[in-house]
Amino acid sequence: MKFDETPIVKDPAKEGLSPPNIRENASAAVRCYPSKPKDTQAIGLPGERVPNWQEKGIAKFAELLEKNKALRVYMDICVRCGACTDKCQFYLGTGDPQNFPVMRAELMRKVYRRYFTPAGRANTLSEAADFDEEMLEKWYTYFYQCSECRRCSVFCPYGIDTAEITMAAREIMASIGVSTKYVTEVVAKVYERGNNLGIPPAAWKDNCEFLEQDVEEETGKPIRFPVDDYGADILLVPPSADNFANVDTMIGYGKLFYALGIRWTTSTYCNEGGNFGLFLNYQNLKKVNKRIIDAARMLNVKTIIWGECGHAWRGAILTPTLNGPMDMFDPPYPYHISQFIVKMIRQGAFEGRIDKSANDDYIVTYHDPCNTARAGQLLDEPREILRYCVNHFIEMPRNTIREKTFCCGAGGGLLTDELMPIRMAGGKPRAMAVKHTGANYLATICAICKAQLPESMHYWDVPVKVGGTIDLFARALLL
């Protein structure tokens, strides 16, 4: 049985798009709001378009080609075979051929050929283009309609990592003062408040206290949500949304550690696992990630555990490269909450303490977030947890899961209201795969996915609840 991959945006008129032009230029009509100078200046970027931006942009391009040898290879080896063309959810959703991964990457390759090949410099190459205002506008539009999900790379016979091309294009644009409000605002909030949502330390503590009261009323157990507990065994680094939006996931963390009798904490210095530097430039990727290591050292914890967030995990696994060895921690490498739970399961820590029937209202399917699956190899652990705590688990079609998973439609810095038509279009392939299963609960381990998937499931008429893997585990856990 096949699921529907018809390239169309549902009710485009409702989304402000013109139905007659939906296939030709729908995507081109949608773009991100530009960043605000106060945010870009706070994170080390120009507050406005710099003078001589073309020259400086090409200089940045040259710098990236020198530092990232893979990028130069990706500029040269694509033969435009078409293997990636129908693999991108944004093409499948919009039908816009500019959202072919190869066509999006060609926007950068044309500039590369113009300035970094002999024929291009001699202006004798037809496949080259100037880095001019028109090209910059296309870069700004289409490189922010790529979620850096890498699905196209799975199918590329040459192993071209299109996400690296998107990341390089965004870094070039950021260096000349062209970036998006959503991404730069989030990074600025991390430096100012310690998290993506801009939550002050006092509000973080207050909400943890509210959760303690609510959970004790529900369970009768003194389950704590500690903050800045010096000398705790574990520093949990969740996405900040878990404490304010995905509260069932936050409650799940608390119940888990309570059941195991483990002393844990969060940090007000860095209570955010998500790393939007990944969607902007290397400098901020490194700086945001370092805050987590610094928080762990400040609190003198033994172990860092990353929570349910996709791009947090992708940033986490880069920690030794970005910020040096983790030898002072146990384990001395990035550690995910799913890995921790599976370890405890295998050690028998929950023997006789799991009631699967607590989840019998649900037929559960699982969404592999791009960054935990393709970039982080967390493929089996979430499934092992689900099979341990639910009776009814079903997979989506094989070509839509694990390494071949579809993006939720809003990763890579796309979770912003002005991109809603693109998000809903890009979410269609995942929605159709979920509908295929007949499940009524969609589990995942990513905060971005938990924000996007309820919207897209509703949009595409898929009646399913979205929640965390740990949410279901905590429901089944007997305290």
Q: Which residues 6+ apart lie within 8 Å of 306 measured at CB?
A: 237, 273, 312, 313, 316, 334, 335, 336, 337
Q: Which residue has the tokens 């100037």?
A: 130
Residue 352 pLDDT grade (very low, low, confident, very high; cuts 50, 70, 90): very high
- Do 212 and 255 have their domain in common? yes
Q: pLDDT tens digits for 287-301?
A: 999 999 999 999 999
- Do 311 and 426 have their domain in common? no
Q: Is 184 within the bounds of a domain?
A: no
> What's the whole-number mean pLDDT along residues 117-127?
87
Given phi > 0 = left and psi -120 to 50 = alpha, else beta, which region is 391?
alpha
Q: Which residues 6+ apart lie within 8 Å of 187 measured at CB?
A: 39, 43, 276, 277, 280, 284, 288
What is the count of structural domains for the chain?
Answer: 3
- Do 329 and 215 have their domain in common? yes
- Do 368 and 438 have their domain in common? yes
Q: pLDDT tens digits for 284-335?
A: 999 999 999 999 999 999 999 999 999 999 999 999 999 999 999 999 999 9
Strands laid side by side in the 303-306 sheet: 264-265, 234-237, 303-306
Rounded-to-integer distance, Cα 88 and Cα 27, Å:
14
Q: Is 37 within the bounds of a domain?
A: no
> What's the whole-number mean pLDDT along residues 423-427?
95
Residue 146 has phi, psi (to 5 degrees) of: -120, 130
Where among 269, 300, 335 does a domain terminate?
A: 335
Q: Which residue has the tokens 């959970």?
A: 215
Residue 125 pLDDT grade (very low, low, confident, very high; cuts 50, 70, 90): confident
Q: Is 155 within the bounds of a domain?
A: yes
Q: Is 256 within the bounds of a domain?
A: yes
Q: Is 241 within the bounds of a domain?
A: yes
Where among 288, 305, 335 does a domain terminate?
A: 335
Q: Does position 26 have pLDDT exceeding 90, yes or no?
A: no
Where among 123, 144, 176 does a domain terminate?
A: 176
Beta pairing partners, 336: 306
Q: Quick one: 278 exposed, middle or buried, by C-beta within 10 A (0-12, 13-18, 19+)?
A: buried
Q: Is 20 within the bounds of a domain?
A: no
Looking up residue 139, the CATH number of its domain turns out to be: 1.10.1060
Q: Does position 358 have pLDDT exceeding 50, yes or no?
A: yes
- Do 297 and 327 have their domain in common? yes
- Do 315 and 211 have their domain in common? yes
- Do 203 and 316 have their domain in common? yes
- Do 417 and 329 have their domain in common? no
DSSP string, 423-451: HHHHTHHHHHHHHHHT-SEEEES-HHHHH
Look up the domain containing 398 and give its range: 356-476
Across the chain, what does the average pLDDT equal? Answer: 93
- Do 59 and 137 have their domain in common? yes
Q: Is 305 within the bounds of a domain?
A: yes
Task: Give the count of beta carbons closer than 10 Å to the beta carbon of residue 38.
Answer: 11
Q: Does position 7 have pLDDT exceeding 90, yes or no?
A: no
Looking up residue 453, the CATH number of its domain turns out to be: 3.40.50
- Do 248 and 376 have their domain in common? no
Q: Is 26 within the bounds of a domain?
A: no
Instruction: Read off the pTM.
Output: 0.92
- Do 165 and 203 have their domain in common? no
Rounded-to-integer distance, Cα 257 and Cα 6, Å:
45
- Do 252 and 323 have their domain in common? yes
Residue 452 pLDDT grade (very low, low, confident, very high; cuts 50, 70, 90): very high
User: What per-residue confidence (pLDDT) applies to 2?
Assistant: 46
